[in-house]
Amino acid sequence: MDRVPPSVDNHLFFDYAAQLQGLHCTIIYTAPISVVYSEKNLSNTFDSPNIVPMVNIYEFKRDECDLEYNQTALEAVASLIDQRVEVDAVFESRQQLLELAKSSGGHVRQLMQITARAFLTAATRGHNKVTADDVTYAIKQEQFNFERIIPTQHYSALAQVCLTKDVTKDEIGRMMLFNISVFEYNGDNRWNYVNPVVKQINAFQEALAAAKANL
């Protein structure tokens, strides 16, 4: 149920909350992160939600747009691939694996999708190992996917997320969380950050430059 679109999840988890809770069994519902950001307050009808944040691969600084990576966390994300393949046998160098980890933003599904595309790209090109070009191509294809789905008016909002580390509590903000152009991280702090693949899009960079110029 975490994949249902915002037009449905709002109706389902708020208008039909009583029906969902009326089932005579023990049940765990998975809801889109956008529901948690609803002004209707999910906790009014359900218990406080358990939120699964992204794996934080960054050194958090709220006043900096381009965050440095936390090497320990980055290696932990990379280990998800490391445990499934023999890295030295599959990658030209470990740096390619780390680039995949960086491009994931700590989002495991995105990591697996880009990695799978890099493997397929290397195979179709006749490479014995995954090269830097294969990884770059795979990341670019993910970037192009986002370019196709992100509405033009979202880029100024995405730029603000990068600058403030917080997403707007409105329809645009909830949609950005739903389509994973924005991630949530928490721990000592709760904060948002732009998907690293989205940060590479020219329209985002232009919106960010404009936002910085207006500061």
Residue corresponding to tokens 């645009």: 172
Residue corresponding to tokens 């986002």: 146
DSSP 43: G
Closest to 13 in 3D by CA, of 1, 25, 23, 26: 1
Asked whether 211 and 156 are in contact (CB, 8 A), the reply is yes
pLDDT at 128: 96
Instruction: Give which of 57, 54, 94 is closest to 72, Cα–Cα.
Output: 57
**pLDDT digits over 157-199, tens only?**
999 999 999 999 888 998 999 999 999 999 888 999 999 999 9
The DSSP element (H or E) to which 192 belongs, if any, is strand 191-194
- Give strand pairing partners of 192: 184
What does the pLDDT average to over 74-94? 95
pLDDT at 10 exceeding the cut of 80: no
CA angle 38, 15, 33 (to 5 degrees): 30
Cα–Cα distance between 185 and 60 in angstroms, integer?
Answer: 10
Report the distance separating Cα 202 and Cα 212, nearest Å. Answer: 15
> Which pLDDT score, from 0 to 100, does residue 40 have?
79
**Domain spanning 71-148, CATH class:** mainly alpha
**Helices (DSSP H) in 63-201: which residue ranges?**
71-82, 87-90, 94-104, 108-124, 132-149, 154-164, 171-178
Three-state DSSP state, 1: coil
Four-point Cα dihedral 26, 180, 136, 94, nearest 10: -40
Cα separation, 153 vs 165, whole angstroms = 19
Quickly state the pLDDT bin for 93 (edges 50, 70, 90).
very high
- Residue 180 has what pLDDT? 94
Looking at residue 108, its pLDDT comes to 95
pLDDT of residue 28: 87
Name the token pair of 181.
């152009």
Write out the residue limits of the CATH 1.10.8.60 domain(s) in the chain. Answer: 71-148
Each residue of 13-60: pLDDT tens digit?
888 888 888 889 988 888 887 788 777 787 877 877 887 778 999 999
Read off the pLDDT of residues 111-149 as tens digits, 9 standing for 90 and up.
999 999 999 999 999 999 999 999 999 999 999 999 999
